[in-house]
A and B are shown apart, each in its own frame.
Chain A
Amino acid sequence: MTFPILSVIIFSPIVGALILLLMPAERKTEIRVVALMTATFALILSFWVYLNYDQVAAGYQFIEKYAWMPQLGISLHLGVDGISTPLLLLTGVVMFTGVIISWGIDDRPREFFAFLFLLASGVFGVFVALDLFMLFFFYEIAVFPMYLLIAIWGWVKTREYAAMKLTLYLFIGSVVALIGALAMYFNSGFETFNMLVLETANFSPEFQKIWFLPVFLGFAVLGGIWPFHNWSPDGHVAAPTAVSMFHAGVLMKLGAFAALRVGIMLLPEGAKFWAPLILMLATVNVVYGAFIAMIQKDLKYMIGFSSVSHMGLVMLGFATLTKAGMTGAGVQMFSHGVMTALFFAATGMVYDRAHTRQIPELGGMMKPLPWVGVTFIIGGLVSMGMPGFSGFVAEFPIFMGVWQVKPWVAILAVISIVITAAYIMLAIRRTFFGEMPKELEGHITPISAMDKVALGLLSGLMIALGVFPSIMVPMVETGIENVLRLLGGA
């Protein structure tokens, strides 16, 4: 029996949350330290998994399987492949940096970290679940704490509205997908929720055509697919910094990942049939998201819509059903996760000092906040897909894949890069350069050393991946090859 590392990764945040809830509420410093320890532990473990994933052997690794409810074929069946391993690392990173960034939260930090860790557990669980039932179980766990985190600690103006909207959207999406999953369960005749077995079910093409859309779109709601993306910018804006990071950085990947794992991998014929539609929707995401981002005045709304646009690229990559496109999408999930986390962290630091996020009211932040400025620019370069940064490594293959399928869609989608470059550069110039408004002078205090650790870690990852794509791309490819095998070697 080897060390059950995946279940330790899933359950360590829960244990952390329980410890936190048992601590007296007024010991705030100790609470933060315990939270940081928990997050560090999870980060180390997920990094360990990443380093020890055997790319040559590929397939699912670190497999654990415990019978949970044998009579219905439910088991706690965990394992990671080339697609989920980077996402596991991403979650570890965002969790760690999120805790660091939230150091200053003063209103009930105990509950804040406890809910955040519950959320993290759910996210870890979805990424490693190989059992359909468990996937849903963790998925719902990941969705709910979001409501409280946004509603309680969010931005006063919109938090109640945004939290409710987000929860309703995601809940609707997930239960629609759930019906599809139940249909698969009964139709397969295997009486099991084991996804590795369900992959071999050979559902009839009619069945797949009917159920692919509810399942894929149900999950893709969380991935922010157009026209169900509406919850996401509102949610990003209303959420406190760490939650925005989690939300855009990890949670949206959850939707895309589950759409891939359950939608495309279990219903490949359906995926082939509906791929053109998904391609269209994703293209709208990419282009429309970028345009809307351009006209935003609020920095957080801008990043929120840019997330919609970038997540569209992920969906676009999936919908190509080609090796290049899907590999790009896999890498994009990681790259975008880190990038958005960085953006939200930086924006949060600016907001905490300037008390405004309106781009026209900001300016000259580079001088007092050089770390924030530089890392924001790095994030911007990633966002534009500059070579040498992770964004390029991810987006280039996606466009290659799209070109193979529908060249004119690729041309259309590439427009988004230009627009992205435009709004990112505008935002950088207005926020970090130029004259600082009079009323802000003297209020901009330097960021703490811990904030620098978070920013440094996030931007370092993006550069590392940009310079050495080989640290991740081949791993994702092994996962994608498995998907292509299910799609019939297309």
Chain B
Amino acid sequence: MFNSSMILAILPEILLLLLGLLILILDIVLKGKDGRNLGWVAAGGLLFILVLNVFLAKPTMPTDVFGGMIRYDMLGYVFKMLFIFGAMLTSLFMMDSEKLGNRGESYILLLVATIGMNLMASATDLIMLYLAIETTSIPMYILAGFMRDDKKSTEAGLKYLLFGAMASTVMLYGFSLIFGFTGTTALGAISGFSLPLALGVIVLILVGIAFKISLAPFHFWAPDVYEGAPTPITGFLSTASKAAGFAVLMRLFIGLFPPASAYAPSWTLIMAVLATITMTVGNVVALSQSNIKRMLAYSSIAHAGYALVGVVSLSELGVGSVTFYLIAYVLTNLAAFGIIAAFSKVTGSEKISDFAGMSRRNSGLALAMLVAFLSLTGMPPFGGFVAKVFVFAAAVKADMVWLAIVGILNSIVGLYYYLTVLKVVYLHRMEGENEEAHPIPLSRPYAIALSVLSAGILLIGIIFGPWFNIASSAAAGLF
């Protein structure tokens, strides 16, 4: 029957849908004028949804609702709040993005994608899960190719669509095998695979998810799409969308093949190998990039690898630390892409060498960049440090010291290219120009969003206890 927990379980999604409708109506009423202000509406609305849900919709007991389609638990809740937060800042970044910020559709697409992610994080039925993934992906395909006149953006959209469709077909095939052999699509009821079948299913599903979270060797789309898509969208794609993929990965795999089962060793091994390849490929290729968006694309591939280390350790600490890692990563990478959006809006360039003299052109923006990049590197007192320590700690605890060592070697490579960018920002000068004559003005949405993110990165990095509590309570539901 219908009860209050059913409403609470999808309260964020209901509100997101209402917000989307509101923007749609406003867009029609305004007839395309003052479209930029819709960004304020979207961001304000998302903030309201976030606050409301933090106070109202926090689950106490995990409950299956809607006939077992979705589960109302802490894991879903934490990720939902993270997505809404990410969408809120993304809509601020979108406001001053050319051709994106003054169109109502772009905000609506963002909201729909967020609804899809929310459902991804809480789906416990294969069909529901598939629908949620598509609900997320389709708006993202459009957003990636939103700038129709821009060749790169169109290419990004099309590429993302083709690769994405391919990956989800493969994953769907994996789902169909599960259904065929066990007769059910409900996550909790699936059981009794033979080992070879399980392996087949694992590989097929993994292809779909690995595409979403851009694990090597399924990462080829990422650099092109990240580079071509409008920068705020890239930020969203690389953070919230990736986090949603991880939520699915953890729920699905730990649900289907729990740690105690006979399948666990094989899939953790597969993932450990994937994590190793992903970290290494991401970091090593990032070294040679001259376009900052491509560099961050490879860096975000590498970060998926670090986070996967936590999943592999297959423990409550591991999942908790992945969740914590993703929280820190979402803040950090959103900030990084936001800064790039702000910078390239003024300069029209995304080349790393054009960041020369940035600290003299806008010292605040440079400071934000320092914070974001050091957090990506994993330096205290920023969020990235604690996150990395926890993930590696989980690996050491699971007796996978070698994986932690691989991770550490990789962070050293990472340190090198992040520092190289900071060096350009702080040390190099613009050639033959006086930097003071070329300031980089920050519009209000950028200033607000970047301050919030920088403060958040510091907050998570210093007072990490409460955040880790939240992350581990999300993990607890899975075990």
The answer to whether the Cβ of A419 comes within 8 Å of any Cβ in the partner chain is no
The answer to whether the Cβ of B380 comes within 8 Å of any Cβ in the partner chain is yes
> Interface centre among A141, A152, A171, A186, by most B CB within 10 Å?
A171
Q: Are A141 and B381 in contact, with the CB atoms below 8 A?
A: yes
Q: Are A176 and B465 in contact, with the CB atoms below 8 A?
A: no
Once the chains are docked, how many angstroms separate the CA of A220 from the CA of B196? Answer: 50
Residues of B contacting A422 with CB < 8 Å? none
- Chain B residue total in the interface (Cβ 8 A): 29
Q: Are B465 and A68 in contact, with the CB atoms below 8 A?
A: yes
Q: Are A176 and B427 in contact, with the CB atoms below 8 A?
A: no
Residues of B contacting A136 with CB < 8 Å? 380, 389
Question: Among B381, B389, B401, which residue has its beta carbon within 8 angstroms of that of A183?
Answer: B401
For A37-57 the 0/1 string (1 means CB < 8 A from B) is 000000000000000000000
Q: Are B465 and A71 in contact, with the CB atoms below 8 A?
A: yes
The answer to whether the Cβ of B392 comes within 8 Å of any Cβ in the partner chain is yes
Residues of A contacting B465 with CB < 8 Å? 67-71, 74
Q: Which residue of A lies closest to B468 (CB)?
A: A69
Q: Are B416 and A168 in contact, with the CB atoms below 8 A?
A: yes
The answer to whether the Cβ of A482 comes within 8 Å of any Cβ in the partner chain is no
Q: Are A141 and B469 in contact, with the CB atoms below 8 A?
A: no
Q: Are A178 and B416 in contact, with the CB atoms below 8 A?
A: no
Q: In the complex, identify which listed stretch (A86-94, A143-151, A308-316) lies at the interface while the others stay far away.
A: A143-151
Q: Are B426 and A179 in contact, with the CB atoms below 8 A?
A: no
A120-156 CB contacts (< 8 Å) to partner B: 133, 136-138, 140-141, 144, 147-148, 151-152
Q: Are A186 and B397 in contact, with the CB atoms below 8 A?
A: yes
For B363-383 the 0/1 string (1 means CB < 8 A from A) is 100000000001000011100
Q: Are B416 and A164 in contact, with the CB atoms below 8 A?
A: yes
Q: Are A151 and B427 in contact, with the CB atoms below 8 A?
A: yes
Q: Are A141 and B416 in contact, with the CB atoms below 8 A?
A: no
Q: Are A178 and B415 in contact, with the CB atoms below 8 A?
A: no
Q: How far is the CB of B379 from chain A (nearest CB, A)?
A: 5
Q: Are B412 and A175 in contact, with the CB atoms below 8 A?
A: yes
Q: In the complex, identify which listed stretch (B68-76, B119-127, B403-411) lies at the interface while the others stay far away.
A: B403-411
The answer to whether the Cβ of A96 comes within 8 Å of any Cβ in the partner chain is no
Q: Are A171 and B412 in contact, with the CB atoms below 8 A?
A: yes
Q: Are A140 and B380 in contact, with the CB atoms below 8 A?
A: yes
Residues of A contacting B405 with CB < 8 Å? 179
Q: Are A72 and B408 in contact, with the CB atoms below 8 A?
A: no
Once the chains are docked, how many angstroms separate the CA of A176 from the CA of B363? Answer: 34
Once the chains are docked, how many angstroms separate the CA of A69 from the CA of B401? Answer: 24
Q: Which residue of B lies closest to A184 (CB)?
A: B396
Q: Are A167 and B468 in contact, with the CB atoms below 8 A?
A: no
Question: Among B374, B381, B389, B419, which residue has its beta carbon within 8 angstroms of that of A178?
Answer: B389
The answer to whether the Cβ of B472 comes within 8 Å of any Cβ in the partner chain is yes
B450-479 CB contacts (< 8 Å) to partner A: 464-465, 468-469, 472
- Chain A residue total in the interface (Cβ 8 A): 33
Q: Are A179 and B419 in contact, with the CB atoms below 8 A?
A: no
Residues of B contacting A182 with CB < 8 Å? 389, 392-393, 396-397, 404
Q: How far is the CB of A265 from chain B (nearest CB, A)?
A: 21
Residues of A contacting B472 with CB < 8 Å? 71
Given contacts A140-B385, A151-B423, A178-B389, contact A183 B396 (CB under 8 A): yes
Q: Are B411 and A175 in contact, with the CB atoms below 8 A?
A: yes
The answer to whether the Cβ of A216 comes within 8 Å of any Cβ in the partner chain is no
Given contacts A69-B464, A147-B419, contact A176 B397 (CB under 8 A): no
Once the chains are docked, how many angstroms separate the CA of A136 from the CA of B397? Answer: 18
Residues of A contacting B374 with CB < 8 Å? 144
Once the chains are docked, how many angstroms separate the CA of A67 from the CA of B464? Answer: 12
The answer to whether the Cβ of A298 comes within 8 Å of any Cβ in the partner chain is no
Residues of B contacting A203 with CB < 8 Å? none
Once the chains are docked, how many angstroms separate the CA of A185 from the CA of B401? Answer: 13
Q: Are A71 and B468 in contact, with the CB atoms below 8 A?
A: yes
Question: Among A74, A137, A152, A179, which residue has its beta carbon within 8 angstroms of that of B427?
Answer: A152
The answer to whether the Cβ of A352 comes within 8 Å of any Cβ in the partner chain is no
Interface of B is mostly: helix
Given contacts A141-B380, A183-B396, A185-B393, contact A151 B404 (CB under 8 A): no
Q: How far is the CB of B298 from chain A (nearest CB, A)?
A: 19
Q: Are A179 and B401 in contact, with the CB atoms below 8 A?
A: yes
Residues of A contacting B404 with CB < 8 Å? 179, 182
Question: Among B401, B415, B416, B469, which residue has its beta carbon within 8 angstroms of that of A71?
Answer: B469
For A309-335 the 0/1 string (1 means CB < 8 A from B) is 000000000000000000000000000
The answer to whether the Cβ of A277 comes within 8 Å of any Cβ in the partner chain is no
Q: Which residue of B lies closest to A144 (CB)?
A: B379
B343-388 CB contacts (< 8 Å) to partner A: 363, 374, 379-381, 385
Residues of B contacting A70 with CB < 8 Å? 465
Q: How far is the CB of B184 from chain A (nearest CB, A)?
A: 37
Once the chains are docked, how many angstroms separate the CA of A147 from the CA of B420? Answer: 11
Residues of A contacting B389 with CB < 8 Å? 133, 136, 178, 182
The answer to whether the Cβ of A199 comes within 8 Å of any Cβ in the partner chain is no
Once the chains are docked, how many angstroms separate the CA of A167 from the CA of B423? Answer: 13
Once the chains are docked, how many angstroms separate the CA of A64 from the CA of B177? Answer: 59
Once the chains are docked, how many angstroms separate the CA of A176 from the CA of B406? Answer: 11
Once the chains are docked, how many angstroms separate the CA of A396 from the CA of B44? Answer: 70
Q: Which residue of B lies closest to A154 (CB)?
A: B427
Q: Are A152 and B392 in contact, with the CB atoms below 8 A?
A: no
Q: Are B380 and A186 in contact, with the CB atoms below 8 A?
A: no
Once the chains are docked, how many angstroms separate the CA of A88 from the CA of B472? Answer: 37
The answer to whether the Cβ of A172 comes within 8 Å of any Cβ in the partner chain is yes
The answer to whether the Cβ of A361 comes within 8 Å of any Cβ in the partner chain is no
Q: How far is the CB of B74 from chain A (nearest CB, A)?
A: 15
Residues of B contacting A152 with CB < 8 Å? 426-427
A166-200 CB contacts (< 8 Å) to partner B: 167-168, 171-172, 175-176, 178-179, 182-183, 185-186
Residues of A contacting B397 with CB < 8 Å? 182, 186
Q: How far is the CB of B470 from chain A (nearest CB, A)?
A: 11
Q: Which residue of B lies closest to A67 (CB)?
A: B465
Q: Are A186 and B396 in contact, with the CB atoms below 8 A?
A: yes
Once the chains are docked, how many angstroms separate the CA of A167 from the CA of B419? Answer: 9
Q: Are A137 and B415 in contact, with the CB atoms below 8 A?
A: no
Q: Are A175 and B408 in contact, with the CB atoms below 8 A?
A: yes
- Listed by A's residue number, 20 A-B pairs whose Cβ atoms lie within 8 Å are A69-B465, A71-B465, A71-B469, A74-B465, A141-B380, A144-B374, A151-B427, A152-B426, A164-B419, A168-B412, A168-B415, A171-B411, A171-B415, A175-B411, A175-B412, A176-B408, A179-B401, A179-B408, A183-B396, A183-B401
The 7 closest A-B pairs by CB, nearest first: A69-B465, A182-B396, A175-B408, A137-B380, A140-B380, A186-B397, A182-B393
Known: A69-B468, A182-B392. 16 other contacts (CB 8 A): A25-B363, A71-B468, A71-B469, A140-B385, A141-B381, A148-B422, A152-B426, A152-B427, A167-B419, A171-B415, A178-B389, A182-B396, A183-B396, A183-B401, A186-B393, A186-B396
